[in-house]
Amino acid sequence: MSTYSEAIKVSVEDDQIAGTFLTPESRTPGVLFVHGWGGSQEHDLHRAKGIAGLGCVCLTFDLRGHGGTLAQQQSVSRADNLEDVIAAYDQLASHPTIDGGDIAVVGNSYGSYLASILTTRRPVKWLSLSVPALYRDENWSVPKGQLDREDIAEYRNAPVSPSENRALAACAAFEGDVLIVEAEHDHLIPHATTMSYRRAFERAHSLTHRILDGADHAMSSEACQQGYTSILVGWVTEMVIGRRVGSIEPSAFSKPRSG
């Protein structure tokens, strides 16, 4: 862990002897949680509390069209929600104890998609994408609820390259550490979409891909929720906490399974 040193004089009887104060780094990492479409910050609070206990400052929030602004859901666009994420990031980064260079973003589904694009607008060191959704670049400012669901499903079932999608292009440029969590029985995010994300991270410092056995898209069972929490907290401990104390090296590119 980085330390600050301060030379001092210690008075003893009629003399002064030299000393040095060594104090631990006072600033802490920040973690921003971005929930999925139709969700809310309530889905993230439990995990955020656990990660805050590791020594991080965490921020959860409701995207417009969710939580207290549910009435806006039929009019809010991806452009609007990206601005929400940027505003939340800036709020987190302004926290007095945050080290501005040490921010992790944890996205879920639609939130993973927005989190990926965020990396082109703000510095992100660690990026966690759970069941990451993918959308065509077209109709960016059209209300999300009006997008053609059948077209989206077709788009996700085929390989997509970074050259044709802004979220994947962001992933291709990202040089930090990455966690991808895939649900084994995801009816909304097919394996092809997950692999499009995975292949895009060519420049990532490290990439960990976990498949949560038996899980659906919402990870609706208690066992799946606990499994995802265990994966996320373990990764944050290794990357965010371990890297700061300098005792843990990032994992090699891997694809272990978790049940």
Q: Around Cβ 40, how many Cβ atoms within 10 Å? A: 17
Fold classification of 27-258 is Rossmann fold (3.40.50)
Residue 249 pLDDT exceeds 50 = no
Residue 258 pLDDT exceeds 60 = no
pLDDT band, very low/low/confident/very high, at 55 (cuts 50, 70, 90): confident
Averaged pLDDT, 183-206:
97
Averaged pLDDT, 153-176:
98
d(CA 102, CA 248): 16
Burial class of 48 by CB neighbour count within 10 A (0 to 12, 13 to 18, 19+): buried
Question: pLDDT tens for residues 110-151?
Answer: 999 999 999 999 999 999 999 999 999 999 999 999 999 999
Looking at residue 251, its amino acid is S
Predicted local confidence at residue 2, as pLDDT: 57
d(CA 41, CA 66): 9
pTM of the predicted structure, to 2 decimals: 0.86
Q: What's the alpha-carbon Rg for the chain, to the nearest Å?
A: 21
What tokens appear for 253 in the block? 């590119």
Across the chain, mean pLDDT equals 88
| Percent of the chain whose pLDDT exceeds 70 | 86
Question: pLDDT tens for residues 86-103?
Answer: 999 999 998 888 877 799
- Give Cα 5 distance to the centre of its chain: 33
Residue 45 pLDDT exceeds 60 = yes
